[in-house]
Structure formats: structure tokens, C-alpha cells
Structure 1
């Protein structure tokens, strides 16, 4: 480790994307600290993690988390802040004035983040650019809700404006179910949801971009989602690197409209009825299959830290195609159990059979990360909220 290299604080250490970031930065010589509301985390047990800090939960106690983070930044000035999930990113942006004098960061403006995090605003932005996306409405009254259903037919999708993975999404088949789902999602999330035209499950593709402080693309990467849990609408459990420059171009156009800086992932799904790719949402944060991009040659965390420190980097647009990442624990194992199929999966559930596939937690080079995952499972076996965190995209 070089003595002059600044420390990096990686938040949300329970998530496997945080483990990927810790491994990346630790291998490059950066002293890495992780933060989470528990000590039992994959990233915290990684050989590449220097310190583990216990923090309040950014989801359950955002005010306490903000106070804690500002205090830490003042005590240890010069840290590079890498908030990894939506709640922690939001708090960093809300407290940017307090944090900026003591920390390095490359993040979007709060206004840009709010637009990207709002699925309805994302759909509106995409439509204004002429991009294909499902018909979407945010009803202000029940009459508007029923009019949209009448015009578009069932099934329809009731979707929270702010959520990750499949959390809160309801597929409804009739008017009674629509009314009930609309009321339930409103109650669960504290705001009315949007209603979206249903697209039958199809191929899902994701484009990830890192935008520098001047609005230029510093790195781009595209992946195909191979398997999911839950099977039809859940986060991916296996991914494959692919080449799709047209999706990178669309993602750049959309993020440029939002004035984006920093990291983001844009998602599409192919409509099997007409074969057209339709934009679904923006993830204004790191995504949980981050390991695949790093494995394929696009080291987003390392580039992100270097840009946050004011360094110039050569744009990275070329990477290895056909690489695969699997999340065996727990996602892909749950996929196999749900489809009642262990043999015959490609890539296989266990091992590689000669395919370029790696697990994003299990690693002989960093075995204690898996121990941290198992400890977190044992510690929070009955905590539904913690399991949602472990399963999310």
C-alpha cells in the first residue's frame, strides 16, 4: 500500500456490490473502510477491508446516519466517499455542503438524483427523447386510474416511484385488483404509485456508465441478465457481458438530459410481442452485479475513486465479452429451487464446466467474505428487511 493513497469509505457493506468495490480498491492499494449497521457483512470480512465501522441505518434512521457520516468525515478528513445504495447516496447528496470540505466525491446533483430515482420521471424523460418505453401514468385520482386501465387493458403493473429490484411491484389482472394494489402500494411507500403498461417477461439488458465531472463518459459496460429470482420479475442472479453500443448511446443521451455525474445503470427489457427493447428504469447508484464489469475489465470503483480525486482517466469502452457472474448465495440457489431444476442450467449452478463464470461472493482468493455472508444470514435469519437487502439488485 502506498502511504500517500487516500482512504475510501464504502457504505452498505451487506451488499455484494460493496464487496466487489472493496476487493477492487483493496487490490489497487487503497486503504478501504466499510460501513454498515452490523459487523457481520461480506465486505467487512474481506481480506481487502481495513476497518469496519458500525453506522446507523440510512434507511431506518436517515437523520442519525447523516449526523454520523458528517462526524466521521470531520474526524478523518480526506476520505473518498463511495455511497453504494440509494438511501446512502441520497443522504450524501443532501449533506453535500457539510461533507464536501472534508471529503472527496463524484456524485450527481441532488436534483438530478431525484429525477433519476423517480421511475415516473425517468419514463417521462425517455418519452421526451423519443425512446421506447411502456406507457406510464401517475394517476392523481381514481377516475384517471380507471381511464388508463380502460384505454390499455389488463394486465397492468402497479409500481412504486422509488424502489429497488421487484420490491413493491404488483401485476394486476382486473379492476378490483388494480384498486387494491394501488391502495396497498400507496400505504406501503407513503406516496401514490405509477401505473404502467404490462410487458411480458423478455430479455433484460443493462448499460452501466460512469460520467466524469465535465459530463464525459469515462467508462461504459453492458450486460445481459441470464437468470432471476423471483423468476419473472426479480433481480438477476446470473449475468453475461455483451456488446451493445446502441444501448450505451441511449443511456448517454438519457443521462445527459438529466445533467448526470458519477455512476448509474440504465435497464431495458425486450418486448416479446414486437421484439423492441423498451427502457424500464435508471438505477442512480451502483448495481449488485458490479463484479461482472470488474471481471470483464471495466473497473468502475477504481475509475470512480480516481475521478473523485481529480485525476484524469482514459475512457474505458472495450472489455471482455461473454464473461459471466453468478450470485449463488442466495439468489441463484433460490432460482434453482423455485424452478425445481439443478442439473442442466447454463451456466451451471455449481462450478463452471469450462465457462468463464465467477461467483460474486465465493472466492478462494478471499474466502472470509463468504463467512461474513453466512454470519449475516445467521444473525438476521428472521429479519425480513435484511433479507430484502441481501436479495436486491
Structure 2
């Protein structure tokens, strides 16, 4: 029987991974730094293990993984969270002495996670993207921003998601905001902000040995926070513009593994514009799983030297909801009747959930236990609940 080690059991995406693998008869070992990991309660997890927090003890995390893989028979290691995936990419050769590690490697991961690299590639490959400048000093930033239209976004190039990001509505506030993001560290990039009514979109891929083995597109319907964050409701779509742009980007760097390419539709031109790349499993992984595009299982097959048939077709209009606590928090944060109308009914035909699943019910209780355990600790709330 194939055994796969899955990291970051508290995350929604890890739960999607173990469900995908489990229903194909894979023996799943799931790890995390907290005993309250949601995926630990899944019927598809055969063994749970604790390791040091990769965010605060990276060397100990890698060392514990090496020790476990050396002492146990594991066929494939699948990292899930951002920091875990970064560390596994950086230690791929060491870990690969004990198991199959289907990641691209340190250089490729570190480049793709940088927003400045992705924007430079978009410019080189003629992929639509927000106008972006790359200042080398604060004074140069204040000069270059005059070539952009406000509002603008100030971003730290190497931070994942919305970390290290600030919006600037007027030129008068730019220098102060830029300095706040910079803080004497990494030089931010600056780009024009796509209007807030533009819809977030994503295209996910599994590329292996130069071939697209799976692809999937979706649009974001709700997020938390509403100004921009993890999607709490999303819908499967088919958009060749997203596939073409994503595949062009991945082909150019000869990417190996899974990646999700994020876009935002510019309503002024009805053009999806590239924002960033997540070179790892992503938070909305349950949606393709519900649509029959099982990235974790396909990646496992590739890692084992098999050649699965590409999966490029799937039903559109399927929705998946991050109810606990994501969509509840979206509702509470908006304070308007429209939010209430959108929230109900909770269960609709063609809508699934990231965590709730009648065939695998215990993770719902596990998530509720995490909410109760960490509700008074903001840092742990962000880590253990909102992911």
C-alpha cells in the first residue's frame, strides 16, 4: 500500500489532500505542530504526528521530517502550507534520500513566490498584469509612482498573499505608506490597483515533465476580509484566457509540480490580470476535489513514476464554501442586509463545503474544537482557524 506524508493538518487544503488520497486507498500520515489539527480527525488519516512549528523552528521542522522519513516507510512527501513547502523545496535533496518529494526545488520556488519576479515575467511574456514599478530607493519610488494612476498598491515582493500589502488612495499619502511597508527591510514594488469591483479568479495546474496533467479555473464570489483575503465562496469556471496565461508562465520556467496562478478581472476592459503565483497547494483545493480534479492524487501518481491521464475537463458552476469560520466572519464584518441575503440558505444544490462532509464528519467537530481552543488568542486564531 502506498503511504503519503501530508503536512499542515490544520489547514483546509491539507484536509482536501487527505480526503483525495484516502478515497484512492492511500495510507495517509498527517503532521502538524498542533494537536488540534482539523485533518487529524478525518477518517482518511491513518496516523497523526507532531513536529516543530516550521514558522518559528524551521531547522527543527526539517530535522524532524528527516528523522521520521528515515525511520518509517513513506513513499511520497506532500508539503501543503507556505512555510512547510518553502522548507521542503529548500531541503529537497536531503529529504529525497528517504522518499519521493514532488516539488520544483529551492531556486524555482524562491523565484516564483516573489511578486517582482512574477510581474517581470508577465511583462516579458506579454501577459496582462497591473502596471508595476520596481524602485530601488524611497526617493525613486516617489518619482516612479507619478507614472501610475491612483489608487496604487505597495507590496513586499517576497511575502505570501496579503501580508506586507497596503493600499494608497491619494498621492499625498504615498511616501508615508511606502515607508511603513518598507521599514528599512526589503524594497517594496508599487502597482496600480485594479478597481475593487473586479472579480478575483484563479487557474490551478499540475505540470509534470513538461506536460499539463491537470488544470482547473474558478472565480471568487466572497472573501474574508471582504477587502481581500481567502475566498469563502468560489465557483468553478472554464476560461481559456486564464489557462493560456498560466501555462505560458509555467512553461517559461519549466515548472514541476502544482501551482495556482491568481488573477483579478479588470472591469474597465474585462481582462483578467495576473497578480501572483502560489507555487504550492492552495486554500480553495476542495473545489477542484469536488469537481473531480484531484490534484493530490494525480501528483502522487506522478511522484511514483506513473503516467496518469491528464484531467482538463470538469463541471462548471459548482460552488464550494468555507463556512467555518470564513463565511461566518464575512457575514459579521459586512453589516448589511445584502450580506444576510447572500449568506442564506446555507445549503444549496450544487454547493459543497471545504470542511463539512457527511461522509467524513469528524473534521467539522475538530474545527469547532480549534475555534473554541484558540478563540482568545489572535495569533493562533489566524494560524489555526482562518487557514
TM-score interval, normalised by the smaller of the two chains: over 0.9
1:41 counterpart = 2:59: no
Task: Name the counterpart of 1:369.
Answer: 363
In 1, the alpha carbon distance for the partners of 2:48 and 2:158 equals 29
| Alignment correspondent of 1:252 | 247
How far, CA to CA, are the matches of 1:39 and 1:300 in structure 2? 26
1:9 equivalent to 2:27? Answer no
Query: Is 2:310 the counterpart of 1:315?
Result: yes
Kindly report the root-mean-square deviation, in angstroms, between the aligned alpha carbons of the 2 structures: 1.8
Task: Provide the C-alpha distance between the structure 1 equivalents of 2:183 and 2:64, rounded to a whole number of angstroms.
Answer: 30
**Quick one: structure 1 residues 386 and 259, their matched pair in 2 at CA, closer, same or farther if it must change by over 3 Å?**
farther
Aligned to 1:277: 272
2:162 maps to: 166
After TM superposition, give the deviation of residue 349 of structure 1 in Å.
5.3
CA distance in 2 between counterparts of 1:246 and 1:136 reads: 21
Q: Deviations over 1:112-150 (max 9, x none)?
A: 111110011000001100111111223211121101222
Q: Deviations over 1:159-197 (max 9, x none)?
A: 122333323321012355333332332349x42222111
1:345 to 325, 334, 342: 342
- Alpha-carbon spacing, 1:40–1:72, altered in 2? closer, same or farther (3 Å): same
Question: More displaced, 220-229 or 363-372?
Answer: 363-372
d(CA) in 1 for partners of 2:308, 2:355: 28
Flag as ranges the 4+ runs of structure 1 deviating above 3 A.
Answer: 174-177, 389-393
How far apart are 1:371 and its partner, in Å? Answer: 1.4
Find out whether 1:301 has 2:270 as its counterpart. no
Distance in 2 of aligned mates of 1:390 and 1:203 = 27
Which one of the candidate residues 351, 360, 363 is aligned to 2:354? 360
Residue 209 of structure 1 corresponds to 205
Provide the rounded CA distance (Å) in 1 between the counterparts of 2:313 and 2:177. Answer: 44
d(CA) in 2 for partners of 1:104 and 1:321?
33
Partner secondary structure for residue 147 of structure 1 = helix
Paired residues of 1:182 and 1:192 also in contact (CA < 8 A): no
CA deviations over 1:349-379 (Å, ceiling 9, x no partner) = 5121xx2001111122212101111222222
Offset of residue 93 of structure 1: 1.5
Instruction: Name which of 187, 190, 193 aligns with 1:198.
Output: 193
Aligned residues of 2:5 and 2:74 also touching (Cα < 8 A): no
Gaps of 5+ in 2: none
CA distance in structure 1 between the aligned counterparts of 2:386 and 2:374, rounded to whole angstroms: 16
Which position in structure 2 is the counterpart of 1:292? 287
Is 2:213 the partner of 1:218? Answer: yes
Q: Tell me if the contact between 2:92 and 2:105 (Cα under 8 Å) persists in the aligned partners.
A: no
Answer whether contact 1:131 1:279 (CA < 8 A) is retained: yes
- CA–CA separation in structure 2 for the residues paired with 1:318 and 1:163: 33
Q: Render the CA deviation track for 1:294-350: whole Å, top value 9, x for unaligned.
A: 11110111101111111110010011111110001111111112223454217x451
Per the alignment, residue 51 of structure 2 pairs with 55
Partner secondary structure for residue 224 of structure 1? strand
Cα gap change, 1:275 to 1:246, in 2 (>3 Å): closer
In structure 2, how many angstroms separate the alpha carbons of the residues matched to 1:247 and 1:79?
A: 33
**Equivalent residue of 1:43, what SS?**
helix
- TM-score normalised by length of structure 2: 0.94
Aligned runs of 1:69-148 on 2, under 5 Å? 69-148=65-144
Distance 2:297 2:351 in 1: 22
SS at match of 2:41: coil
Q: Call closer, same or farther: CA 1:182–1:349 in 2, change over 3 Å.
A: farther
